[in-house]
Structure 1
């Protein structure tokens, strides 16, 4: 039996982002019986970058979540094994990075701004992350296609705040000046949910109406967004896919296959609209409304009709009849439509294989994806991707 390959994981595993990334790594390891993972727990002492990394001599390759701070790249190299990073801050340092696709973040933000009737858009990020400036530039480029004005503020550092703590005076002053200078209504896209929570609180203190004067949008769909009051709209990132792809490419590197590119951008999943940009929306009231909401959230998880009925707490037969009468289509047709739209987005924005895309929209085999696109698009997934990119080239 061949010896097992050890993949190291070094990240602040108490954070949601790290746990989601780990889920993706574990999903890849479940497909490879000769791989095992070892968690080299992140410690604040690691931030000093003294000595050698904890995985030296104990792993064949390592997946890290690390920011660009002095000494970090040299410290990672002292581990003497291949390293990949699942955030974008180390891009350009020679460490392959797997991070959110800025173009998809910009597109989702602009679509939401237009739908919400915002006149202008702004971005608040942090100088601590090189990715922040790139994200702002991508958003500005997308806004130009809509003729919308854009302003940006890059904070000197990420606010170190919790739900009930106050902000640094310098950060507070900078953000307050920025907020009071904006024309209303403006959508403020923030680099992270943490920054969005701080911006929302300061906007409320300035008595700016949320969202009629100022809308606040975060990134990550973390507890900072979900537990804020009011709840913050946020863009869900595919951290699990980043973990999966990082493990796949690292495994290939350990086997002697070089990285195909320096960076791998992972498209965002969706924008979760909440009170901070759309106001208070009534909860679904009827069984059909609750079924639609459940399907829109879980269609790509391989949801079954019986599961939808159980979530709504009615019999499947009764729900099917009511759904068809109210919407004019079946629940199965809605599930297919949600899956198709997600598949089209992945075909348009990534080079993922049809098998990976099929898995990501709830199918066990690519043949199911092929049948769906043949029936609904009258072409194969490969043909759709080619047609879409040829159309882009002509523009």
Structure 2
């Protein structure tokens, strides 16, 4: 039997992101029959982590969020992989994490698709010395579509000195001065939940006045937010799995296939905090709402026109002007989004999912996935740690 290797996981256990990372790491070790013994302790997201001075082990997977930890790992010359958005020790310590720029673009595309034309970004108020590429990518994607984005970015050390009520007042004062309807992207779900609370204190309705999207999807933060908070699924299971694969290569003395591996976010998990179609025309909003509510049905444009009192020409022009796509493209987009949700949240076979998303045949769903997402339904599902169902032969 191979000698056990001790692997330190310097990762928080208090968020869905951290828990998903750890699950992904454990999945790799199990799938590849690695005899790894994990050193791990209960930790909060912003706990300052270091290896204990007396720790002796084989490798480390860590959220490198401060220079002391990076310097410790470099000085110990221990195989390590960074799973943080911080790029500390970037020339020495390989990194595997969610692509923050892709996540920022996904957020912009989603909120634009909801019909919003006014935007704001709330960066992290808890991270010092951090280059926020996520927020930059969000603003850049909006600018490419001719949209401005306001920002709330107080100095983290100064903001941290305020008590929670004073912080909420600062946020509330900022929010009430912004135009509405407005879509706000928060750096993470901690900031997102703080924004929904600040809206409540300021008498602003979510999502009627302000839609709020979290930059990650943390199940607890989402559920205790009022209303429930939408967020970006950064695919921590996949990140953890690939980070473990990279560490395994280091432990075996193999060259890394990629020194910096940036994995795409998986999806937007839509909850009530963004459940609003913010188009300026009520008939267009009604049409989009009808499409999304009936995405599981095999309806045609004629069926849509029978339900919404608008001409085909006006609908075509309105969709292209405000959403940048045709009604038919919006229908396909809504069906794919529903398929993504079912692939993530159920163990239904692809044949059943195709039928539940308005596709006559499973092959049509597979074709749509290849065109829009550059993958197949089964490969997409497997990416998140859920094995493909045996009945999804249409992906072959």
Residue of structure 1 aligned with 2:205, choices 191, 201, 209: 209
**Structure 2 unmatched runs, 5+:** 278-288, 298-334
**Secondary structure class of the residue paired with 2:123:** strand
Residue of structure 1 aligned with 2:83, choices 82, 86, 89: 86
Cα drift, residue 23 of structure 1: 1.0
CA contact (8 A) 1:11 1:66 kept: no
Aligned residue number for residue 68 of structure 2 = 71
The CA distance in 2 between the partners of 1:31 and 1:256, in whole Å, is: 20
Aligned residue number for residue 372 of structure 1 = 395
The CA distance in 1 between the partners of 2:81 and 2:170, in whole Å, is: 35
The CA distance in 2 between the partners of 1:91 and 1:121, in whole Å, is: 31
Aligned residue number for residue 386 of structure 1 = none
Cα drift, residue 143 of structure 1: 0.7
Aligned residue number for residue 345 of structure 1 = 373
Aligned residue number for residue 234 of structure 2 = 237
Aligned residue number for residue 273 of structure 1 = 270
The CA distance in 1 between the partners of 2:171 and 2:97, in whole Å, is: 27
**Secondary structure class of the residue paired with 1:72:** helix
**Secondary structure class of the residue paired with 1:24:** helix
Aligned residue number for residue 172 of structure 1 = 168
Q: Which runs of 4+ in 1 moved over 4 A?
A: 129-132, 279-282, 292-296, 305-309, 327-330, 354-358, 361-365
TM-score by length of 1: 0.70
Deviations 1:89-130 (A, max 9, x none): 244543322222123222322222222221221111126156
- Do residues 108 (structure 1) and 106 (structure 2) align? yes
Aligned residue number for residue 309 of structure 2 = none
Bigger mean CA deviation after superposition, 112-121 or 185-194: 112-121
Deviations 1:204-246 (A, max 9, x none): 2111232232111102221111221111111111001110010
CA contact (8 A) 1:190 1:218 kept: yes
Aligned residue number for residue 321 of structure 2 = none
Deviations 1:374-394 (A, max 9, x none): xxxxxxxxxxxxxxxxxxxxx
TM-score by length of 2: 0.70
Residue of structure 1 aligned with 2:347, choices 284, 303, 327: 303
Question: Residues 103 and 340 from structure 1, CA distance in 2 versus in 1: closer, same or farther, beyond 3 angstroms?
Answer: farther
Cα drift, residue 272 of structure 1: 1.6
Cα drift, residue 328 of structure 1: 6.1
**Secondary structure class of the residue paired with 2:240:** helix
Cα drift, residue 302 of structure 1: 8.4
Question: Residues 301 and 15 from structure 1, CA distance in 2 versus in 1: closer, same or farther, beyond 3 angstroms?
Answer: closer
CA contact (8 A) 1:8 1:62 kept: yes
The CA distance in 2 between the partners of 1:343 and 1:23, in whole Å, is: 30
Aligned residue number for residue 313 of structure 2 = none
Aligned residue number for residue 26 of structure 2 = 26
Aligned residue number for residue 37 of structure 1 = 37
The CA distance in 2 between the partners of 1:62 and 1:269, in whole Å, is: 25
- Do residues 333 (structure 1) and 362 (structure 2) align? yes
RMSD across aligned C-alpha pairs, in angstroms?
A: 4.2
The CA distance in 2 between the partners of 1:358 and 1:285, in whole Å, is: 23
The CA distance in 2 between the partners of 1:168 and 1:157, in whole Å, is: 16
Aligned residue number for residue 192 of structure 2 = 196
Bigger mean CA deviation after superposition, 89-98 or 337-346: 337-346
- Do residues 218 (structure 1) and 214 (structure 2) align? yes
CA contact (8 A) 2:62 2:81 kept: yes
The CA distance in 2 between the partners of 1:99 and 1:76, in whole Å, is: 18
The CA distance in 1 between the partners of 2:184 and 2:3, in whole Å, is: 52
The CA distance in 1 between the partners of 2:202 and 2:38, in whole Å, is: 48
The CA distance in 2 between the partners of 1:265 and 1:243, in whole Å, is: 12
Aligned residue number for residue 322 of structure 2 = none
Cα drift, residue 24 of structure 1: 0.6
- Do residues 187 (structure 1) and 159 (structure 2) align? no
CA contact (8 A) 1:3 1:34 kept: no
The CA distance in 1 between the partners of 2:237 and 2:19, in whole Å, is: 9
**Secondary structure class of the residue paired with 2:164:** coil
The CA distance in 1 between the partners of 2:42 and 2:387, in whole Å, is: 36
